[in-house]
Structures are given as structure tokens and as C-alpha cells.
């Protein structure tokens, strides 16, 4: 079949803000007339059919909630990420892939090549029975085939749900069930640093008892021995060969409604069960592109290196969809920052002459710990812009990044956003709006932030003071989540019910007299460990699964590298540990093993303190405030403990603090 020529639009970005004044004008317009503002931006994309009128650009209410952008418009996001670039930049690298080991060859996929691979794999999906709207779970390492799989799903209108390679079989099983997924794409294994993770075998465990999965497509990466089940499991490479033998290449991009789901991505909340955040085709595309082009001030031909994993939202939005829809070159790195040594990022920057580096504060802090040695002899002069995401960045890490990586020449963007927001909501625009170390600074155009007190009353500064409050948003932007998969009520109660007519982020923040925001952290029971969101209830549920555990309470505490560490207080009944080893250490390890099984190694507590009781009110509620303070090292001002059922337990916990 021939490549179906679609109209290309030259890749200039007329909506790229070029000065502080332009930012102010854009912001003003976006607030006064959001539909007109986003209609102008959306006109720069390839639509199979546009929305009928300005009224259809945005319809919403936060009561249900219902948010629709570009209602009635038709598109396929892959035509925007691939086809429209073929004519003008077909030979330009779309993806550069750097493997885990520096001894292995890197790979470059031009836009033409990526288009070809995506079309081919889209045929594979169709041949295996995948249809528009089917949920496809993707559990792979960071190899080009992961991006290809994601885009191939989008090509045929299947809804992808990528699961980070660090999650356990049980977590996958829960997600497969919740999403009612019928297909899986995975690898035999994944290389991560010195480790070789047996992905397929984890999938096999996840599939015990699963009746919905029709097909598992397995891509070869590590050559780890795998069991392939007849009738269910097929090799990626064999399937590609069938497609080639049949002479199938180009495939039409499925016509999607702007509001059709594009993907589901699970994220933790304050309840025990992760939520399937749903993003849709039109708004998500426009928003990730707009934020990519503006926050990073992307210039054609620059090389953008986002170090996140595609298993998280950052990888979805700023490795795949944002950069590719902007015709950028996006670097995909399989490994970790410290393998084979702590100079790995700098080697990659040097090797590919990376222009934009986007990483997490936890990675910066971890690399700071290795001193300046790993930076020596690395040419970082190609770097133009640096970015951070995922957690508050402390000033020390900010200055280190600025001085030793950016050589004081590169603006640093501190980008605040969430899985639910699709793209960046608060950030300085690189070199355009001022940076302020450890402050995410100003909301992007279209983003109407406000701070509220516990009662939902807006916090307004009197004079020039800095104010604090819970961070909320008044009106939708195109990248806002539309629902939580299979349970819209959960979406409403989680985000839209705490305060009337507002989206509640779950974060607390400060605002200075100039309107800059500084995120102070979560105000709900969600932890941020190395930039990963983990619900305390989820960890508690996992710990409580362990035989002998009566009850547990999990809180966060400040951790030098991870930002937050996980501190668990556990009531353990059973003398097994004492009898066999005379110490609780073996039980600790058993509990860690249980958490690894139930969630994954990322949720393992850093500290486990055995206690005989937990501080509870007479109504049975755990006073987490007290536990949090003790974990943070504060043993004096614990506040009022008189309402506790058994105040004596507090002294015991204080004395046993780890």
C-alpha cells in the first residue's frame, strides 16, 4: 500500500512565546477567552476533521466532571507525530536510542524509519486481533520497540496502558483486571544497570488466573530463557516477519474522535488502589506539544534528552508525544545514571551533543554524591536548557545543576505537573520568564491556579506577603484527565469534590508577591519517593498481607537522595523472628519481600520499626501527624496527645525510633 500523502505543515511554532511580554499577553488571552486561545494553537495540527465552531472547542463543568476539548473533531495523533514530518524531515532523527551498556551500539530512527516501524507493528497488532478501543498493556524496558508499540496502538486506536518495568506481577494483575486488558506487549527481559529483569516471567506470574488476555507479544532483548505458551504467546520478530512476507507496510491511521481515549496510566492516590488516569487524543496532543515547545523553547534540530522512563507520564509526554508531535529529536536511554559509572549522563550528553536535558532532582542529588570527578573531561557545551520534574528541587541541588552541568549558561526549568495534568502546568519558560531556585514559578497560559484554605476559601495576599495554601485549578486546560478508567465517580471524589468547582491537585504551595509558586509537597497521604508517587495506604496494604503483621502505618520522612523515604511502623505478632534469630531483622526482610511481591521494589520501606501499638484516637483513627513527626526526628513538640486512647504508646515509639 502506498503512503497516503497528508498535508504537511512546516514546523515552525507560531505559538512559541518569545519574551516575558508575550507570555503576559498569551496568559491574559488564555484566561479571557480560553476557546479562542486554544483554537489558535490547535490550528497548527493535522486534523482529519476540525471542530465545527468555537463553541465546540471547550465544553465543561467540574460538577460531574465533564470536560470536552475540540468536540466532534477527528484526528490520529500518529499523523501529527510521524506522517506530517515525512516530507520535510523524513531523514531527521526522530528517536536516538542509547542502550544500557555503552559497549553496545546506539541506534537512530529517522522519522521515515519510525513511521515504517510503527506501521509494521500496527499491522502486527491488527493481525493478532487488536481492535480500536481494546486495552493493550505494555510492560517493556526502554528500547525503541517500546515507543513503537505505544505509537502503533495509537495508530489503530487501541488504548495503551504502559506499566513501569519495576512493578510486580501482582500490581500488573490488578491493572490488567481494572483496565480489562486483552493484549500484552512485553520483552523477554530488560537491562537496567547491572541487572537483567525477567519481564516475561513477571508477566507469566501476572497472568495466572487471568481469562481476558488473548495474546502476549514478546520482543527479544536480553535472551533470558522464557516460557512461550502455545496459542497465547508470540514473538515480536516472528510477527514482523509475517507482515513483511505479506508485503504489508503503510497502514491508514484510524480516525479518532478528539475525545476518544488515547491511553490509561495508573498512578497512586491516597486510597489503597491505583487509579487508571485516562487521557484523550485531541487535548492531550495539543497540550503536550504546546508545553514542550514553550517550556523548553525547543528549536528545530535540537536534541532533547528526557531521562524518565516511558512507564511514567513524563516519558509519555516528553519522550514520545510532545517531542515527536513537534518534529523534534528525542533521546531514549535504556539504562540508569550510575551504570557503568556516575558519568553516564554526561557521556551521553557529550556523545550526542544533547541540547536539552530533562531529569529528576533525585537523579541530580544522587550524582552530586559522586563529586565532580565523573564530570571531568566531559564536553557539556552543547547543553542549552536544563529541566527538572517530579518533586521539589532543593536549592543545593539546583545550584549544583546550574554551576557544574549548565556552567551557569543554561536556564533551568522547574516543571510542576502530574500524571493527571498530562503536561506541565507551572514552570518558567526557558530563558524567557525568570527562574527562581526551588520555585516552579508561573502558571503556563491556560492554567488558572489558586490557593485555598481547608474550607476551600481562596487565599489572597494582603500586600506583598507570600501566602500558603492548597493548590487548586479553576478551569480546564486541554491536557486534564477526563476520567479514571471504569469509575468516573472515583475521578470526581478524588479531584473535584474536595472543593467546589475546582480541580484539587493534592499539593500544598506558596505564592509570592510576583505570582510565583513554590510547591511544598503533598498534603494528602501520598509519598514522593525518588520522584515516584506512592500511596501510604498501598504500602500498608502490602505490609499487612504479610503473615504475622497485625497492623501497620506508613509515613514519609526527609531523605537526602530520594526526597522522601518510607517509614513503616508495624505491629507484628508472632515470635518467629525472636525464636529463630533473636532479632527482628529477618522479619523486616520478609516484610520487604512481601512489599516487593505486592507492589514492586520501589515501594519498599527504608525503615521498619516494630511497635506494640499505634497512636489512635478514641474513635480508632491513627494519628499520623504524630508518627510523621517522630519519623522526621521531632520528638518534643508532638502536639496534643491527650485525645489518644493510649498516650503511653507514644513514648515507646519515640524511644524505639530508628
Q: Minimum Å distance from CB 528 to ligand PRX?
A: 5
Question: Cβ closer to ligand PRX: 222 or 418?
Answer: 418
| Strand ranges in 502-631 using DSSP code E only, listed in sequence order | 503-511, 517-522, 526-529, 532-535, 549-559, 563-572, 607-610
Question: Cβ closer to ligand PRX: 99 or 311?
Answer: 311
- The answer to whether residue 275 forms part of the interface with ligand PRX (CB under 6 A) is no
Q: Minimum Å distance from CB 424 to ligand PRX?
A: 8
- The answer to whether residue 116 forms part of the interface with ligand PRX (CB under 6 A) is no
- The answer to whether residue 504 forms part of the interface with ligand PRX (CB under 6 A) is no
- The answer to whether residue 287 forms part of the interface with ligand PRX (CB under 6 A) is no
For residue 184 the three cell numbers come to 500484552
Contact 96, 304 (CB under 8 A): no
Q: Minimum Å distance from CB 447 to ligand PRX?
A: 14
Residues from 299 through 338 that contact ligand PRX (CB under 6 A): 313-314
Question: Cβ closer to ligand PRX: 374 or 390?
Answer: 390
Q: Minimum Å distance from CB 358 to ligand PRX?
A: 11
Q: How many CB atoms lie within 10 A of CB 467?
A: 15
Q: Please name the helix (run of DSSP H) or strand (run of DSSP E) that holds residue 36, with its range, or none.
A: helix 34-42
Among positions 76, 120, 366, 528, the unique one binding ligand PRX when judged by CB under 6 A: 528
- Of 133-141, 408-416, 441-449, 649-657, the segment contacting ligand PRX by CB under 6 A is 408-416
Question: Cβ closer to ligand PRX: 313 or 623?
Answer: 313
Among positions 99, 323, 335, 390, the unique one binding ligand PRX when judged by CB under 6 A: 390
Question: Cβ closer to ligand PRX: 89 or 533?
Answer: 533
d(C-alpha 614, C-alpha 621), whole Å: 10
d(C-alpha 219, C-alpha 215), whole Å: 13
Among positions 13, 183, 333, 416, the unique one binding ligand PRX when judged by CB under 6 A: 416
Q: Please state the three-class secondary structure of 292-318 as a single string.
A: HHHHCCCCCCCEEEECCCCCCHHHHHH
Which residues are CB-contacts of 362 (< 8 A; sequence separation ≥ 6)?
390, 391, 530, 531, 561, 562, 563
- The answer to whether residue 418 forms part of the interface with ligand PRX (CB under 6 A) is yes
- Of 148-156, 387-395, 490-498, 624-632, the segment contacting ligand PRX by CB under 6 A is 387-395
- Of 92-100, 334-342, 363-371, 389-397, the segment contacting ligand PRX by CB under 6 A is 389-397
Q: Minimum Å distance from CB 44 to ligand PRX?
A: 24
Q: Minimum Å distance from CB 415 to ligand PRX?
A: 5
Question: Cβ closer to ligand PRX: 120 or 267?
Answer: 267
Among positions 175, 279, 522, 604, the unique one binding ligand PRX when judged by CB under 6 A: 522
Q: Minimum Å distance from CB 417 to ligand PRX?
A: 5
For residue 423 the three cell numbers come to 503536561
| Strand ranges in 573-613 using DSSP code E only, listed in sequence order | 607-610
Q: Please name the helix (run of DSSP H) or strand (run of DSSP E) that holds residue 385, with its range, or none.
A: strand 385-389
Which of 305, 321, 339, 329 minimizes the C-alpha distance to 265?
Answer: 321
Contact 408, 401 (CB under 8 A): no
- The answer to whether residue 120 forms part of the interface with ligand PRX (CB under 6 A) is no
What angle do helix axes 169-179 and 585-598 make, rounded to 10 degrees?
A: 30
Question: Cβ closer to ligand PRX: 130 or 491?
Answer: 491
d(C-alpha 363, C-alpha 349), whole Å: 15
What angle do helix axes 236-245 and 111-127 make, rounded to 10 degrees?
A: 100
- Convert 504-516 to b/e letters by CB count within 10 Å (16 or more is b): bbbbbbbbbeeeb
- The answer to whether residue 533 forms part of the interface with ligand PRX (CB under 6 A) is yes
- Of 90-98, 174-182, 325-333, 383-391, the segment contacting ligand PRX by CB under 6 A is 383-391
Q: By Cβ distance, which residue is nearest to ligand PRX? A: 419
| 395 exposure class (CB count in 10 Å sphere: 0-12, 13-18, 19+) | exposed
Contact 53, 70 (CB under 8 A): no
- The answer to whether residue 441 forms part of the interface with ligand PRX (CB under 6 A) is no
- Of 7-15, 289-297, 388-396, 483-491, the segment contacting ligand PRX by CB under 6 A is 388-396
- Of 294-302, 429-437, 491-499, 504-512, the segment contacting ligand PRX by CB under 6 A is 504-512
Which residues are CB-contacts of 316 (< 8 A; sequence separation ≥ 6)?
150, 162, 263, 265, 310
Q: Minimum Å distance from CB 519 to ligand PRX?
A: 4
- The answer to whether residue 391 forms part of the interface with ligand PRX (CB under 6 A) is yes
d(C-alpha 389, C-alpha 386), whole Å: 11
Among positions 110, 168, 182, 267, the unique one binding ligand PRX when judged by CB under 6 A: 267
- The answer to whether residue 343 forms part of the interface with ligand PRX (CB under 6 A) is no
- Of 11-19, 23-31, 291-299, 502-510, the segment contacting ligand PRX by CB under 6 A is 502-510
d(C-alpha 541, C-alpha 206), whole Å: 18
Which residues are CB-contacts of 589 (< 8 A; sequence separation ≥ 6)?
none
Contact 288, 318 (CB under 8 A): yes
- Of 136-144, 220-228, 409-417, 487-495, the segment contacting ligand PRX by CB under 6 A is 409-417
How many residues of this chain bind ligand PRX (CB under 6 A)?
21
Radius of gyration from C-alpha coordinates of the chain: 25
d(C-alpha 147, C-alpha 261), whole Å: 18
- The answer to whether residue 414 forms part of the interface with ligand PRX (CB under 6 A) is yes
Contacts 24+ apart (CB under 8 A), 242-245: 242/124, 242/127, 243/120, 243/123, 243/124, 243/127, 244/120
Binding site for ligand PRX (CB under 6 A): 267, 313-314, 389-392, 414-419, 440, 505-507, 519, 522, 528, 533
Amino acid at each position: 500500500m502506498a503512503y497516503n500523502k497528508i498535508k504537511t505543515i512546516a514546523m515552525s511554532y507560531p505559538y512559541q512565546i518569545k519574551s516575558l511580554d508575550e507570555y503576559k499577553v498569551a496568559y491574559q488571552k488564555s484566561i479571557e477567552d480560553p476557546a479562542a486561545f486554544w483554537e489558535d494553537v490547535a490550528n497548527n495540527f493535522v486534523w482529519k476533521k476540525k471542530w465545527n465552531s468555537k463553541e465546540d472547542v471547550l465544553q465543561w463543568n467540574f460538577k460531574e466532571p465533564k470536560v470536552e476539548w475540540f468536540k466532534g473533531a477527528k484526528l490520529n495523533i500518529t499523523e501529527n507525530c510521524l506522517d506530517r514530518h515525512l516530507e520535510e524531515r523524513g531523514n531527521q532523527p526522530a528517536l536516538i536510542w542509547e542502550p544500557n551498556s555503552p559497549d553496545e551500539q546506539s541506534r537512530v530512527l529517522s522519522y521515515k524509519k519510525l513511521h515504517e516501524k510503527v506501521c509494521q507493528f500496527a499491522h502486527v497488532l491488527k493481525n493478532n486481533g487488536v481492535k480500536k478501543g481494546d486495552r493493550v498493556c505494555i510492560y517493556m524496558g526502554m528500547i525503541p520497540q517500546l515507543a513503537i508499540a505505544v505509537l502503533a496502538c495509537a495508530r489503530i486506536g487501541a488504548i495503551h496502558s504502559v506499566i513501569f518495568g519495576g512493578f510486580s506481577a501482582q500490581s500488573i494483575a490488578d491493572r490488567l483486571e481494572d483496565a480489562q486488558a486483552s493484549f500484552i506487549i512485553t520483552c523477554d527481559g530488560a537491562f537496567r544497570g547491572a541487572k537483567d529483569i525477567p519481564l516475561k516471567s513477571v508477566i507469566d506470574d501476572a497472568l495466572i488466573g487471568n481469562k481476558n488476555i488473548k495474546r502476549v507479544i514478546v520482543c527479544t532483548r536480553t535472551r533470558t530463557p522464557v516460557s512461550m505458551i502455545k496459542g497465547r504467546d508470540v514473538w515480536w520478530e516472528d510477527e514482523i516477519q509475517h507482515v513483511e512476507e505479506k508485503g504489508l507496510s503503510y497502514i491508514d491511521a484510524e480516525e479518532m474522535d478528539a475525545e476518544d481515549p488515547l491511553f490509561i496510566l495508573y498512578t497512586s492516590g491516597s486510597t489503597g488502589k491505583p487509579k487508571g488516569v485516562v487521557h484523550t487524543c485531541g487535548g492531550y496532543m495539543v497540550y503536550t506539544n504546546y508545553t514542550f515547545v514553550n517550556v523548553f523553547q525547543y528549536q528545530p534540530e535540537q536534541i532533547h534528552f528526557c531521562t524518565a522512563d516511558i512507564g511514567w507520564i513524563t516519558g509519555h509526554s516528553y519522550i514520545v508525544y510532545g517531542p515527536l508531535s513537534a518534529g523534534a529529536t528525542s533521546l531514549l536511554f535504556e539504562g540508569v545514571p550510575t551504570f557503568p559509572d556516575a558519568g553516564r549522563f554526561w557521556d551521553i550528553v557529550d556523545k550526542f551533543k544533547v541540547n536539552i536535558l530533562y531529569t529528576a532532582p533525585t537523579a541530580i542529588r544522587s550524582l552530586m554524591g559522586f563529586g565532580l570527578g565523573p564530570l571531568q573531561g566531559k564536553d557539556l557545551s552543547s547543553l542549552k536548557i536544563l529541566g527538572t520534574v517530579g518533586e521539589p528541587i532543593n536549592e543545593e541541588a539546583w545550584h549544583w545543576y546550574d554551576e557544574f552541568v549548565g556552567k551557569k549558561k543554561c536556564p533551568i526549568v522547574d516543571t510542576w505537573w502530574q500524571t493527571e495534568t498530562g503536561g506541565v502546568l507551572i514552570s518558567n519558560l526557558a530563558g524567557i520568564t525568570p527562574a527562581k531556585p526551588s520555585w516552579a514559578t508561573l502558571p503556563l497560559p491556560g492554567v488558572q491556579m489558586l490557593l485555598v484554605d481547608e474550607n476551600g476559601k481562596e487565599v489572597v495576599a494582603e500586600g506583598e506577603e507570600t501566602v500558603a495554601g492548597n493548590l487548586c485549578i479553576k478551569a480546564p486546560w486541554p491536557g486534564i484527565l477526563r476520567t479514571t478508567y471504569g469509575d468516573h465517580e472515583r475521578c470526581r471524589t478524588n479531584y473535584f469534590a474536595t472543593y467546589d468547582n475546582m480541580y484539587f491537585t493534592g499539593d500544598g504551595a506558596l505564592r509570592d508577591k510576583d505570582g510565583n509558586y513554590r510547591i511544598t509537597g503533598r498534603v494528602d497521604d501520598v509519598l514522593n519517593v525518588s520522584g515516584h508517587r506512592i500511596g501510604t495506604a498501598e504500602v500498608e496494604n502490602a505490609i499487612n498481607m504479610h503473615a504475622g503483621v497485625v497492623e501497620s502505618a506508613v509515613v514519609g520522612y526527609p531523605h537526602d537522595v530520594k526526597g522522601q523515604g518510607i517509614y513503616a511502623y508495624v505491629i507484628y505478632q508472632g515470635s518467629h523472628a525472636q525464636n529463630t534469630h533473636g532479632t527482628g531483622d529477618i522479619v523486616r526482610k520478609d516484610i520487604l519481600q512481601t512489599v516487593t511481591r505486592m507492589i514492586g521494589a520501589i515501594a519498599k520501606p527504608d525503615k521498619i520499626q516494630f511497635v506494640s501499638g499505634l497512636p489512635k484516637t478514641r474513635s480508632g483513627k491513627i494519628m499520623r501527624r504524630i508518627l510523621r513527626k517522630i519519623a522526621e526526628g521531632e520528638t518534643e513538640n508532638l502536639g496534643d496527645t491527650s485525645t489518644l486512647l493510649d498516650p503511653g504508646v507514644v513514648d515507646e515509639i519515640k524511644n524505639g525510633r530508628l
